[in-house]
Amino acid sequence: MTTGPEPTKSMDQLKADLAEYGFAMMEGALDPDTTAVIRERVLEQAAAEKKVGYGNNNSAVEPDDDVNQWVAFLPNKGAVCRALINNQACVDIVRYILGDDAILSEFSAHITWPGNKEMALHIDQWFMPQTVMPGDDYVRPSDVSRQHQPWGGPEPANHPINPPVVCNVMFAITDFTLENGATRLVAGSHRSGHHPEPDARYDVTYAEVPAGSFVVWEGRTWHAASLNTGNTPRVGITTYWTAPFIRQLLNFPYGLRPEVTSELNDHERALMGFKPWNTYGATDDFGAEWARPGPETTGVLKD
C-alpha cells in the first residue's frame, strides 16, 4: 500500500487531493436516508434483473468475471437515483476538472458480489489519441483500442501528456471496505501518460469510505474495483462525466424512456446531452438551444 488522500468534507481539500494524487474522497456527500433509499432501489432492481437474466456483466472492463453486476442506465430505473447528478459537490468537482459544459456519460450501479474476480487496473480515457512528434506516424483515432496502449510505470512523464477529458464520481451506496471490493487506485498515476501493464502489480490505495461518500478520479488515474472476500455486496454508483465533444458511453437522449425524459428539468437535460455544444449534437437547427427529437424536426418541404 502507498500513501494517498484521506476522506474529507472540504471542497478545497478535495481539489488539492485530486491535483496531487489523481483521486480524492468526499465524506458525507449524501445523507443516510437518501443513501438507504437508493441502496434499496438498486438492490431490488439488481435482484429482478438477475432473475430475468438481463445483462448483468460488463465484458469491456471485466472480461473474466460473471459475478459482479452492473445495473445499467439508472435514470430509467427509479427517480431516486437522480439525487446523485443533482448533488452539488459532485457537479462542482466535475466542473472543476472538465469545465462548465461537461456532460454525463454513464450512470450505472456497479455491485461487487462476494466471489468475484479482480478487475484489472485501467484508465478511463483509453480512447484518447497519444501525442506524437510532428511527422511521426499515429494511430488512426477510430483504430484506438484498449489493447494497444503505451504501457509503463506510474512515475511522472518527462514529456507532454493529455489532460483529463473524463472523470468519474463514484458514490458509495454501501460502505467501501478492504473486504468488500473498494475501488483501488494508484496515487500519482495521472501524471504518467502510461497505462498500467496488464499483469504487473503496483502500490495501490483502497478507497475505504463510509456509505454516503463519493470517490472521484480523473480520466488518467489508474483504478479498478477489487476482490470482494466478504459476504455482503458492495454497491457503488458511477456517475461518469465527459467533455461534450466525446461520445457518451450511454446514449441518454436516445435511450431514456419517454416518461423519464418528460420529468427531467433543464439542468438534468443539459447534463444528459440534450443541449448541443458549439453546434455538435444539433439536430436540424444549428442555432437552437436544445436538440429537437425527430418528430419535431423539419422534414421535406415543397413550394
Please state, in angstroms and rounded to a whole number, the distance separating the CA atoms of residues 270 and 18: 25
* Residue of 224, 256, 260, 272 interacting with ligand AKG (CB under 6 A): 224
CB closer to ligand AKG, 169 vs 264: 169
- Do 26 and 88 form a contact (C-beta atoms < 8 A)? no
Interface residue with ligand AKG among 238, 239, 248, 261 (CB under 6 A) is 238
Name which position in 17, 65, 124, 218 contacts ligand AKG (CB under 6 A): 124
Which residue number, 38 or 291, has a Cβ lying nearer to ligand AKG? Answer: 38
Q: Which stretch binds ligand AKG (CB under 6 A): 150-158, 188-196, 223-231, 281-289?
A: 223-231
* Minimum separation from the CB atom of position 160 to ligand AKG (A): 25
Q: Which residues pair with residue 152 across a beta bridge?
A: none
Q: Do the beta carbons of residue 110 and residue 238 sit within 8 Å?
A: yes
Q: Within 241-300, which residues bind ligand AKG (CB under 6 A)?
A: none
Q: Which of residues 65-104 bind ligand AKG (CB under 6 A)?
A: none
* Binding residue for ligand AKG, selected from 233, 236, 244, 273, defined by CB under 6 A: 236
Distance, CA of 202 to CA of 7 (rounded, Å): 22
Query: Least Å distance between CB 180 and ligand AKG?
Result: 11
Q: What are phi and psi of 107, to 5 degrees?
A: -150, 90
223: contact with ligand AKG by CB under 6 A: yes
* Residue placing its CB nearer to ligand AKG in the complex, 233 or 276: 233
Whichever of 188 and 236 has its CB closer to ligand AKG, that residue is 236
Task: Please select the residue that binds ligand AKG; options are 41, 110, 194, 275, rule is CB under 6 A.
Answer: 110
Q: Which stretch binds ligand AKG (CB under 6 A): 24-32, 40-48, 73-81, 220-228?
A: 220-228
Binding segment toward ligand AKG, per CB under 6 A, in 84-92, 96-104, 197-205, 217-225: 217-225
Spatial separation of the C-alpha atoms in residues 161 and 227, rounded to whole Å = 31
DSSP labels for 74-117? GGGG-GGGGGTTT-HHHHHHHHHHH-TT-EEEEEEEEEEPTT-P
Question: Least CB distance from residue 168 to ligand AKG, whole Å?
Answer: 6
**Alpha-carbon gap, residue 231 to 233, rounded angstroms:** 7
Residue 180 as a binder of ligand AKG (CB under 6 A): the answer is: no
CB 75 within 8 A of CB 81: yes
Contacts of 303 (CB under 8 A, 6+ apart): none
239 binds ligand AKG (CB under 6 A): no
- Measuring CA to CA, how many Å separate 115 from each of 13, 69, 173, 256? 35, 12, 20, 33
**275 and 290 in contact (C-beta within 8 Å)?**
yes
CA angle 123, 59, 87 (to 5 degrees): 55
User: What is the sign of the dihedral through the CA atoms of 20, 22, 27 and 29?
Assistant: positive
The footprint of ligand AKG on residues 42-61 (CB under 6 A) is 61
Q: Of 56, 183, 189, 261, which lies in the binding site for ligand AKG, with binding defined by CB under 6 A?
A: 183
Interface ranges with ligand AKG (CB under 6 A): 61, 110, 124, 168, 183, 223-225, 236, 238
